[in-house]
Each structure stands twice: as C-alpha cells, then as structure tokens.
Amino acid sequence: MVVESNSIAYWQNPTGIEIPNDPLKFLYITDEAEHMMVSWLAKRVFDYQQHNVGTERQFTKMIMITMGALLPGVLLQDYITHCATPDMPHIEFGTFGVKCYVGPGQPLQHPEIVQPLSIDVRGHTVGMVEDLIDLGGTARFVRDTLTSPKYGARDVVIIAPYRKSATPEHNTAITFGLVPKDTWIITPRERVETMVKRVPFWAQNGADKATCINNLRHIGYPQYLIDDWFETAWMRVDI
C-alpha cells in the first residue's frame, strides 16, 4: 500500500509502486497531498508576484490546461482570489485544452489542441497551470503557442505540482516536486481512467481478476473505488 505521508518532503520526491509485468511505476496522489501541493504552489506564486512587483512579469492571466489542470487550477484560484494582498494585480483565469496522452505511458507524437483558448492573453504574462509537466515537448508546445503572433502572450511561466525533468529556472516554471519518467502519476481526477485502462493491460499480460485487484490495492486504491468500478474495468479486457 502506498504511504499516505503528511510530509512535504515525501511528496516532493515520492517513490512509485512497482507492478509485476508492467513497465510503469504508479504514484497514487491522495486528496490531502493534492491540496498540500497546491497550497505550497500558491505561496510560491505570491512570492513571485512580490518579487516582480511593478514590472510586466507579474501574472495577470492564468490558463488551466484541460483536463489535467482543472483540479489544481481551481484549487489555486481559490487561494489567489481570497488570499492575494491588495497591492497584487487581479488575475483572470481561463482554460485551454491540449491533449498530450492517449493513456498511461502512451504520449501522443504531437500535442493536440482540443479546446480553444477561453480568454485573451495578448500582452500579458501568463501562468500556465498543469498537473504534470515534462519541460520538453508538451510544455514547449503550449508556451510557443501562447506566445505566438496568434495569441500574443508576453511570456508564459509554468505552474505545476510535478515535473519529470531537471529543476527549471525560477523564471520559467514554478513546480513542487520531481518524479522519474517511468512513473505514472494517478491524480485525483484520473483514478478511474487509470483503472479502466490499466486493468486490461495487466490481464493481457497474464493477470487474473484477483491479481488485478491486488495490484490496485498495492498502488493505493481505496476499497470503495475497487468495489464500484473494477468490474467496469474488467469488462474492457476483451474489447
């Protein structure tokens, strides 16, 4: 069973769970950990705003990349809306749909725009909220898209709980923790998706029902999710 630690240090460098005959490791993010990470990020956003007071580098727009960033983005918006000091500029939140993965461990060859940008970012410094970033292709794609002549953002700073590459410079990203590239992060918004897509994979590699259920428990899935949705996942085995 995954350790539900209250330690910030644990969640900044967590260890994924190994599953037999699966190339991925799995990190199950608890609800408490999600809130703790976003609280930490909110404080760093405020530090960033204070550091850049009076300059064009202060955030005035934030974009939540759907679907992954909707939960951390809404939590972050709560802090920014209610805890910002009066001298900080108002930040408008919007959404931008970019699809990067087909499923666990299956990145698209090229990211795809699946939902148009919902607010005007031209001339603004934008905080790009994600749930997970690799400071390579996907982050570069979104950054280049928002700063292109079509959208005209002045600059883009990435804000995310986790990254899968080396520590970024402070002026390009604000991130909480680091996970290895072979670790699939199961965020609160994709627990069922991961179950429904990974149980058939395990079955195709020789796992029976009992083994698949034990795998989910080992990763950290609570019993109610297994009771409610495992059979749905198992029905996909022969599809």
- Give 120-148 pLDDT, tens digit per residue: 999 999 999 999 887 556 778 889 999 99
172/235: higher pLDDT: 235
Measured over the CA atoms of residue 115, residue 38, residue 133 and residue 14, the dihedral's sign is negative
176 closest CA partner among 130, 142, 110, 212: 130
- Give 38-67 pLDDT, tens digit per residue: 999 999 999 999 999 999 999 999 999 988
Phi and psi at 160, nearest 5°, equal -155, 145
Distance, in Å, from the CA atom of 144 to the CA atom of 148, rounded to the nearest integer, reads 6
Bridge-based pairing state of the strands 92-103 and 17-18: unpaired
Residue entry with tokens 């292109």: 148
- Give 89-119 pLDDT, tens digit per residue: 999 999 999 887 766 667 777 788 899 999 9
Distance, in Å, from the CA atom of 141 to the CA atom of 125, rounded to the nearest integer, reads 17
Q: What is the pLDDT of residue 2?
A: 45
Tokens of 177: 């923790």
User: Please, are residues 52 and 217 in contact by the beta-carbon 8 Å criterion?
Assistant: no
Q: What is the pLDDT of residue 169?
A: 53
Distance, in Å, from the CA atom of 87 to the CA atom of 70, rounded to the nearest integer, reads 27
Confidence of residue 210 (pLDDT cuts 50, 70, 90): very high
State the pTM of this model: 0.89
- For the segment 194-217, the average pLDDT, to the nearest whole number, is 96
